[in-house]
Structure 1
């Protein structure tokens, strides 16, 4: 048997074989192939609940795979050009956190952009590493952060030669890509590993006209969100590793936090999705590229909207652009992105990925069809005609440079008190505040609360952004450190 025969799906095949055996279950899960929960069986179907099984010898074990899961991981590594691949059932959050925890520990530095997903900052809370931020440039018209400039990464490395790793978004939520290959080379030249949060870049591996993938660029670890553009079930993901990373060590880190009861529904979906992409990915993503390009042209022809693309590329802070991302700026029609997001859902039954203060993102992938594109374009035209305004004073800046006073771990676990939001100016936050999606924190533990941040939070709330993170679900109060004195030597770890 050829282990790199991409026509195979070993986990799915093992489940099919197991289903034919009619094994009597005296193990978990307790619904016993759905018989104990008929309502669930009616909802999901007998095939689904029948494959919701426990780890056993014929089906392998996710914590220490030796047979079908191991084969599926080898096939995934081959399909993505990695030395190792790990099937993840805790979402790309789990993959990102395992990636970070594999390379840095308490007190060690990691160089990264501030516009990272909350999972990265959560990893720093867990391990105690110290962030060194490379603040991105912003596009003034769009109000979005761009990529990491190579010169800024180099400056951060020179200032922090003891840093252990550099982390890059590949791409950002909006489709912006940094010069990943140059950043990888720079990190390696200085004895650091390079990590890529590739939650929104699964498709990069399957088409030559898309930005370079992390593994092709030589990155050491990459978290790949298969359920986003790859077609697997929600919460399933991959963690990829290059040849200079110990697969055994990464497995140990994964097993610190990942469940010992891996869902075979998620695992088999990863297996089948990988097979589909390996066999048909290029053809499918060529179709997605064409749909996205058509949609951009149609949306820009409406007037008022700006569906941006490769014209943003400047060879540095926007080194490349993911043309499958249908990102649209809405400010010129007098509506915040979140307002257009709400109107599309409430008035036209169209659910897009997210809306922020100035932009919306319609996520296109292998399951989309031209008829849905036409419906989206028509609805956007109607939104402009029915709800558009002129001269509305709208906030557009999406990135606020942080003032870091303590490591995320130190601030998260330090004694704190709850104060009304308006009274927290100048204090050090001990919790997260973010709009979700996209899940990029406005505040993380250890950052100082400024007037600009308070105004931003209040404006985002007023516009209807879904705010998450704080202990107070209404975001009227924030947890801040009880007592704080400035340290002469920088960030407290």
Structure 2
């Protein structure tokens, strides 16, 4: 195999060659390069449809790569300083699930924070592993869950020395980082793997003056959302593997759930995005950082908002902070984050990433333009002037410590009964309820439904949060575990 450099993009190059060969397609997909779907072709473009092809020998196969996909994955592994890299086309959801299912079998324990993405708890439902939750720190001023305390993790390890792995969110959606290096050292001293949900941390590998990346910290596996801050297409992701984990076994686990029809649009976007990050990453993320720091400074000058950053670092549950994250606390102007989110979109034509009950998150990237940053700052200033009100009676926190009664898999597959949600206090939840984004469950299967949780759900509904996960789309009823 010819030695490739980081300036190569093997999948992209193979697709270009395939196009130039003008091969007559008697295989799927049935749109035949877009000729069978003229409206779709006009919408997406002929070039796009012509590379939406099926796996074939010259283009390799994602489930068993031996040529151009294997080359692209090795280049990605080298770029991220990992032993192996796997291209994922089912999103970072599938990467998180592959990590957990690699580390744990049915009945195995895994230590993790409760403010994980639903994909992690979904993995527990599928594989039957048992969660041992470490409650994250909570900042009552900001109302958000933080990272995990090293001392809390150590105490949990001592109580559960048979646990197979520790899962860490790093960074959180808000940009908060745990003491990842210390957590890795601690876990490895007890022969536990460290799995990192690094969905929001692609830039840690390529920017300067960033929090430590999972592979640099010695983690065993990391799920990286290239599409979030790395520039690839939505739904494309990379799973990184290091240490003693068998890459061939990881591939087998991935193939349990990932499609056998890998999209070459997604695969080529990962290939080109990796090349771009290696070649231009420092410049890209310097520009991102400059935009974010300028916006943060100007928003804090408005008053009433708190665009938080390294000022909240405490050396433990907030060990570091990702300065590219534009997280803004809104409760002091009397508005929930979701209310500001809606006003920005409906009144100002600005779409931010999410709003929760006390904060908003605007994703900043080098793809932004100065006048758009100014437009966001100006809109927030005007929203304060027009909509500010007394904050009395507002909910002051995002995270509720769960009472876990039974494993998620047992609860999810148990006999269930659907009852009015307001009659469910004290019952065991048999499904998920979450606000999306960010997709962190308010309730997960196997957890006790409390009055505090029901009040939180009512409040989130009233403020306009998009609640998902339950069988009843209106979240007026909920599935509970039938009691014997």
- What is the TM-score of this pair, normalised by structure 1? 0.97
Deviation of residue 367 (structure 1)? 1.5
**Equivalence for 1:231:** 231
Name the CA distance, whole Å, in 2 between partners of 1:183 and 1:207: 23
Q: Deviations over 1:387-438 (max 9, x none)?
A: 1112442112111000000100000000000010111000100000000000
Deviation at 1:137, TM superposition (A): 1.3
Secondary structure of the structure 1 residue equivalent to 2:268:
helix
Instruction: State whether residues 435 and 467 of structure 2, in contact with CA within 8 Å, keep that contact through their aligned partners in structure 1.
Output: yes
> What residue is the counterpart of 2:267 in the other structure?
267
Structure 2 residue 191 is the aligned partner of structure 1 residue 187: no
State how 1:20-99 maps to structure 2 within 5 Å: 20-99=20-99
User: Is it true that 1:416 corresponds to 2:432 in the alignment?
Assistant: no
- 1:4–1:74: 8 Å Cα contact kept in structure 2? no
Corresponding residue number in structure 1 for 2:167: 167
Runs of 4+ residues deviating >3 angstroms: 1-4
Q: Report SS of the residue matched to 2:155.
A: helix
2 CA distance for matches of 1:467 and 1:14? Answer: 43
What residue in structure 2 maps to residue 306 of structure 1? Answer: 306
Alpha-carbon deviations, 1:129-149, whole Å to 9, x = none? 000011011101100011000
- State the TM-score, normalizing by the size of structure 2: 0.99
Question: Helix, strand or coil: the match of 2:53?
Answer: coil
Match of 1:339 in 2: 339
Q: CA deviation at 1:372?
A: 1.2
What displacement does 1:62 show? 0.1
Check whether the contact 2:335–2:391 (CA below 8 A) recurs between aligned residues: no
The question of whether the paired residues in 1 share the 8 Å contact of 2:331 and 2:391 is answered with no
Deviation of 1:54 (Å): 0.2
Q: CA RMSD in A?
A: 0.8
Q: Does the CA contact (< 8 Å) of 1:3 and 1:75 recur in 2? A: no
What is the DSSP-based 3-state SS (H/G/I as helix, E as strand, rest coil) of the residue aligned with 1:478? strand
Question: Paired residue for 2:357?
Answer: 357
Matched, 1:105 2:126: no
Q: CA deviation at 1:155?
A: 0.4
In 2, are the aligned partners of 1:114 and 1:133 still within 8 Å (CA)?
yes
- Native 8 Å contact 2:219 2:242 kept in 1: yes
Task: Find the residue that maps to 2:103 and give its secondary structure.
Answer: coil
Return 200-209 or 62-71, whichever deviates more: 200-209
SS in 1 for 2:215: helix
Give the corresponding residue for 2:243. Answer: 243
Looking at structure 2, the residues matched to 133 and 251 of structure 1 have their Cα atoms a distance apart, in angstroms, of 28
Query: How far is 1:4 from its partner?
Result: 4.9
Partner of 1:487: none
Residue 391 to residue 225, structure 1, CA distance change in 2 (3 Å): closer
SS at match of 1:217: coil
Q: What is the CA deviation profile of residues 462-492 of structure 1, one whole-angstrom value per residue up to 9, with x for unaligned ones?
A: 10000000000000011001115xxxxxxxx
State how 1:114-125 maps to structure 2 within 5 Å.
114-125=114-125
Partner of 1:490: none
Shift of the alpha carbon at 1:368?
1.5
Gaps of 5+ in 2: none
Alignment of 1:400-411 (within 5 A): 400-411=400-411
Contact 1:3/1:74 (8 A) holds in 2: no
Q: How many residues align?
A: 484
CA shift digits 1:220-270 (9 cap, x unpaired): 000000000000000000000003110000000000000000000000000
Conserved 8 A contact 1:3-1:71: no
Preserved contact between residue 110 and residue 131 of structure 2 (Cα < 8 Å): yes
Contact 1:10 1:271 in 2 (8 A): yes
- CA drift at 1:2: 5.8
| Distance across 2 between alignment mates of 1:385 and 1:145 | 29
Q: Distance in 1 between matches of 2:278 and 2:105?
A: 36
1:443 corresponds to = 443
Partner of 1:463: 463
How far off its partner does 1:369 sit?
1.9
Matches within 5 A, 1:385-404: 385-404=385-404
How far apart in 1 are the matches of 2:424 and 2:375?
45
Match of 2:139 in 1: 139
Range that drifts further, 366-375 or 129-138: 366-375
| 1:13 corresponding residue in structure 2 | 13
